Structure 1
Amino acid sequence: MSLISPNSASAQGSVAPIRTAVAPRAEGPDGRPLLLLLHGFGSDQNDLPGIVTRLGDGWDWASLRGPYDIPGGGAAWFPISVPGHPARGPVEAAVAGLLAWLDATTDGQPVVPVGFSQGGMMVTELLRHRPDTFAAGVVLSGFVAPEPSAGDERLAARRPPLFFGRGELDASMIPAAAFDRTVAWAQAHTAATIRRYPGLGHAISAAELADVAAFLAGLRLVG
């Protein structure tokens, strides 16, 4: 696992660039369908690669570090202000950085963003910003921002597959209203697969990973 695409250490204008990403090869994606892994608040690019072996064969992957450093050594995709209602400026800058990284690093292969918590919200942002681009999305214990997006109408017309999973005890970290909003948005704008897991808090379970693997297999993007 090697570092790829290092960038400037600070946000440049309205773009918060991706400074660090890890992938199986130093040169980056190899043209196969790509899982784009987006970690949660306070974690980093090394958090989610461990789940890839549970998600089926044939996928390439890249795991990106959020652009905003936080005390303790982790990173974030946006600062926490009101839970479930992030400030738009940092979110827009992070989305711009993600899209710039994808434009520079990928070459037309199918991309499925997979995000946990804050990373899950970034999955919905990618779909809303480029509703014709992504093959599908996977949101794990994440949520959708409350503001309407210019891409929502186009996304609703296309209705790409979306997996949204969370634990029944997850509201201790993410407000229940944010999850309810996400279910309604997913059902209105995507071909949604929605799962709740008894006894699970703000985490990813083996049962959830099995469901994600089945969802990804159903996309028929890999041989």
Structure 2
Amino acid sequence: MSAHPSLDPAVVRWSVPADERGDRPVLLLLHGYGSDEHDLFGLVPYLPGGFVIASVRAPLTPPWPMPGASWYPIEGLDGRDPHAVTQAASAVLAWIRDAVGDAPVGVLGFSQGGAVALQMLRAAPDAVSFAVVLAGYAAGGELPGDAVLAERRPPVFWGRGAADDVIPSALVHLTSQWLPVHSDLSGRVYPGLTHSISQDELDDVRAFLDARLAESAV
């Protein structure tokens, strides 16, 4: 498989200008399939102001006529290939090294972005403090960082809709088995929610993120 494209720093949306970021913790937003950096940036008013928020664009282009961008292919025989998810995670981690530096980083991802967020934890346990996974899942296979996660159990919030018919049930089952072993898991299944985000879920995410800020201030 060819090298995964890198993220474009010119299209990143930041919640504050560079001269106001300092060493504040960064919350990185990873959008879903067929979307872009503008999508999840609309959540900024609902998220704690203690974070510097950065929303990035995935580097791949989905097949026509799907708009937007994607982190990895989900079509064809190799759709949702764990190796491709790892490549996407590596591209985001490289961007963090270049653009964020030493500030602590947490990741919030929706759908594909949620899968990449978990894969970032697995690929580089020291680079990411926590993950918020909305309508996402854990990719299969094994990574060297899995043993580290099982020992450290970093905070992870996993929210999904009871009526979500986009993520295959086998991946939901895998995630429900994998996360309790490899994370300090919190989250909720939201009745009636489809492949989307609700206000109840945002309230829960806000509480989770407030707790992370409180921990970092100790």
Q: 1:18 aligns to what?
A: 7
Bigger CA drift: 208-217 or 80-89?
80-89
- Residue 178 of structure 2: which of 179, 182, 185 is its match? 185
- Residue 159 of structure 1: which of 145, 153, 172 is its match? 153
Bigger CA drift: 109-118 or 84-93?
84-93
For the pair 1:122 / 2:116, whether they are aligned, the reply is: yes
Q: 1:8 aligns to what?
A: none
Q: 1:4 aligns to what?
A: none
For the pair 1:108 / 2:99, whether they are aligned, the reply is: no
Q: Contact 2:73/2:79 (CA < 8 Å) preserved in 1?
A: no
| TM-superposed deviation, 1:26 | 5.7
For the pair 1:35 / 2:35, whether they are aligned, the reply is: no
| TM-superposed deviation, 1:14 | 2.3
Bigger CA drift: 172-181 or 41-50?
172-181
Question: In structure 2, what residue type is equivalent to 1:210?
Answer: D
| TM-superposed deviation, 1:85 | 5.9
Q: String of CA shifts for 1:80-102, please: whole Å, max 9, x gaps.
A: 13699612443333222111100
Q: String of CA shifts for 1:161-184, please: whole Å, max 9, x gaps.
A: 0000000001x1111221121121
2:196 and 2:67 mapped to 1: Cα distance? 20
Q: 2:54 aligns to what?
A: 62
Q: Contact 1:31/1:107 (CA < 8 Å) preserved in 2?
A: no
- Identical-pair percentage: 39
| TM-superposed deviation, 1:24 | 3.0
Q: Contact 1:160/1:190 (CA < 8 Å) preserved in 2?
A: yes
Mind listing any 5+ residue stretches in structure 1 that lack a counterpart?
1-10
Give the SS at the match of 2:38: coil
2:134 and 2:116 mapped to 1: Cα distance? 11
Q: 2:37 aligns to what?
A: 45
Q: Contact 1:77/1:91 (CA < 8 Å) preserved in 2?
A: yes
| TM-superposed deviation, 1:145 | 0.6
Q: Contact 1:136/1:161 (CA < 8 Å) preserved in 2?
A: yes
| TM-superposed deviation, 1:18 | 0.2
Q: 1:134 aligns to what?
A: 128
Question: In structure 1, what residue type is equivalent to 2:110?
Answer: F
1:31 and 1:64 mapped to 2: Cα distance? 19
The count of corresponding residues between Structure 1 and Structure 2 is 211
Question: In structure 2, what residue type is equivalent to 1:190?
Answer: S
Question: In structure 2, what residue type is equivalent to 1:151?
Answer: G
CA distance 1:112–1:83, shift in 2 (3 Å):
farther
Name the one with the larger helix percent: 2
- Residue 149 of structure 1: which of 131, 143, 153 is its match? 143
RMSD after superposition: 2.2
| TM-superposed deviation, 1:130 | 0.8
Give the SS at the match of 2:210: helix
- Residue 73 of structure 1: which of 45, 63, 67 is its match? 67
Q: Contact 2:86/2:116 (CA < 8 Å) preserved in 1?
A: no
